Amino acid sequence: MTKDPLHGLTLEAIVTALVDYFGWEELGQRIEIRSFVLDPSIASSLKFLRKTPWARTKVESLYLFMLREQARNAPP
């Protein structure tokens, strides 16, 4: 069993979770890419992220941050 929290997750699941948590507007402020700011959609974001390693790395890092924040804010 792997300890990697990204293991087995699709890029679509990661982006969807980020949008649900932050919303498109905040997501676009945190990671400045056009597919998050101008007419954002999951499909356009995935197309861009699959071709752009630096952006995908930022999205994955933000997802890990979100998981830590959720764990911190979870009731005991």
Kindly list the domain boundaries of the chain, sorted by start residue. Answer: 11-69
The residues near 24 (Cβ < 8 Å, ≥ 6 apart) are 36, 37, 40
Provide CATH code, domain 11-69. Answer: 1.10.720.30
Greatest extent of the chain over all pairs of C-alpha atoms, in Å: 40
Whole-number Å distance between alpha carbons of 30 and 4: 23
Which of these, 47, 56, 21, 23, lies nearest to 37 by C-alpha position?
23
Report the candidate in 12, 18, 14, 9 with the shortest Cα–Cα distance to residue 43. 12
* Mean pLDDT, residues 45-65: 97
Mean pLDDT of the chain: 94
Q: What is the pTM of this model?
A: 0.91
pLDDT of residue 45: 97
